[in-house]
Structure 1
Amino acid sequence: MKALWLTNSFQRRKEQTIRRALEGYEETLTKSPNDPTALEGAAVSLVELGEYQKASDLLEKLVKVIPDKAEAYRLLGEVKFELKDYDGSSSSYRNSLSSSDSIDFDVLRGLTNSLVAAKKPDQAVEVILSCRRKLSEKRQTRQPDLEAANENGAQESRDIDPIQVDLLLGKAYSDWGHISDAVTVYDNLIAEHPEDFRGYLAKGAILKQNGKAGDAERMFIQAKFFAPEAAKALVDIYAQR
């Protein structure tokens, strides 16, 4: 009972802090309606308070007044998803991708989820495949520079994890009902990264969902063998579902 009271008390104090910050941002906006810092701060505060429509209105305004729009569009995509405006969400995520020279995995995942929620999994697959091609081309273009940098002892810059992208692609195929295509993605992932547990885990999960318990169990055994200690419990959860 005491723990519950402490939790509620903490939540009330947190909400009060957010509302005070919101009041400050709103005061700034009365004087400078297009102040980007105040617009973003107020929008984030409103999201934390669950007032998504008001946050959406501010973010719509924010993307019109700042030059670097990628992050604002990402936030707008998240908010519109919460409002169940999946077409608006996917449009915002697309704008975020096109506003940046790099591919942000959180944006790609958000766009995928929005398209699937809008019952457009085919478009989700198309977007992920396009991003995969871009990442592959970028790696090939950068390879000579990376080799030279490594020779000089320079630190290699990091792109998003290609394994995460492939896992997302497999899930999109699965959501589309193209189970064999999803399994093929996971098979290729296992072949290319045989010591990474995630390919085995994803394949095991989809096989189990489709009634192939024996084949799934073999995948889970492999996944647990290669999984780091901290991830073994996750494998068990999927295996026991």
Structure 2
Amino acid sequence: MDIAFEERLEAVRRSALEQKKAEEIKDFGPIDYDAPVESEKKTIGVGAKIGVGVVVLGFGLVFALGDFLPSGSDGPNEGTTVVDKKLSDEEKKTLQTRLKQYEATLSISPKDTTALEGASVTLAELGDYTRAVSLLQELSKEKPSDPDVFRLLGEVKYELKDYEGSVAAYRSSEKLFKNINFEVLRGLTNALLAAKKPDEAVKFLLTSREQLNSGKLNAADGIPDNIMDSESQEVDSIQVDLLLGKAYSDWGHVNDAVSVYNQLISTHPEDFRGYLAKGIILKENGNNGDAERMFIQARFFAPEKAKAHVDRYARK
């Protein structure tokens, strides 16, 4: 056993765990269109972000807004819009070297969880999702109580278009998280919609929204709530409502979707996303005049860097 390599693995793991909470708050919170894009977040393997707990698939720049809008708003690829990562030759070499190190450890200790974790993430970063799934399934046997393992498995299966498998993995992750986790919420919703189960997505989101609202009421009343903590408090209620509207839209319940957007606009009149989502669904259903008014409102309230996105949806 290479002791030095094992020490490096352990150091990376400790670093990942220490960063986990801060990364989740930063990555899973409300979309900040004015925040600068950090180049190091385009790849996972190049930095120290190795553990599955700090990995969010997309493995590149993710245009997250498309996850929350009615399905008719999707671009050519439909569903979640992911910009394919473009690794430089140096980055590929770094990842491949790291993978060989993990594989060397696994050849000696096939159940080494740190090596399984590192190898699966690195394979996914390299785009080898099939092998990543295989290792994540092995890792789930060794760490059956780790929700992040199943969350990442759900994301990788989604990339492979195994939507039923993705749903199953996300459901396992959901059960293991003590509270509502935003990436599981979004991932399971999109997997259910891709699997043509919008009714289940609606039911799941309504339950989640009720749980979130219950936690906020308890906090406002000063009632200790052992069920809800900072993890679920970080979930953006606007994004939950946008997902719910999208699920209703996919289900063909247009009036219910519009009702969700109306409530969103009433509650958050200065947030552009409610206007944009309502404009899209109105336009899809032939109400171009009202849709145009929604797009004008959306553009007015949108952050400067989001105005071009609003214009793109308005022109479709």
TM-score by length of structure 2 reads 0.67
**Residue aligning to 2:104:** 27
Q: Could you list the structure 1 runs, at least 4 aligned residues long, displaced by more than 3 angstroms after superposition.
A: none
Which structure has the bigger radius of gyration?
1
Deviation at 1:193, TM superposition (A): 1.2
1:7-86 aligned at under 5 Å gives the runs 11-66=88-143, 68-86=145-163
Q: Structure 1 residues 10 and 34 mapped into 2: Cα distance closer, same or farther (>3 Å)?
A: closer
Matched, 1:220 2:295: yes
Matched, 1:89 2:89: no
Provide the secondary structure at the position in 2 that maps to 1:236.
helix
Matched, 1:129 2:196: no
**Residue aligning to 1:5:** none
1:193-208 aligned at under 5 Å gives the runs 193-208=268-283
**Residue aligning to 1:114:** 191
1:110-189 aligned at under 5 Å gives the runs 110-145=187-222, 158-189=233-264
CA distance in 2, matches of 1:74, 1:180: 32
Deviation at 1:172, TM superposition (A): 0.8
Deviation at 1:61, TM superposition (A): 1.4
Provide the secondary structure at the position in 2 that maps to 1:34.
coil
CA distance in 2, matches of 1:11, 1:228: 32
CA distance in 2, matches of 1:64, 1:143: 41
Deviation at 1:163, TM superposition (A): 0.3
Two-structure CA RMSD over aligned residues (Å): 2.1
Provide the secondary structure at the position in 2 that maps to 1:125.
helix
Which letter maps to 1:131? S
CA distance in 1, matches of 2:87, 2:254: 46
CA distance in 2, matches of 1:65, 1:51: 22
Which of the pair has the greater relative contact order for Cα pairs under 8 Å at 6+ separation? 2
Higher mean alpha-carbon deviation, 111-120 vs 10-19, is at 10-19
Deviation at 1:181, TM superposition (A): 1.0
Question: 1:103-136, CA deviations, whole angstroms, 9 ceiling, x for partnerless residues?
Answer: 2222111111111111111111111111101111
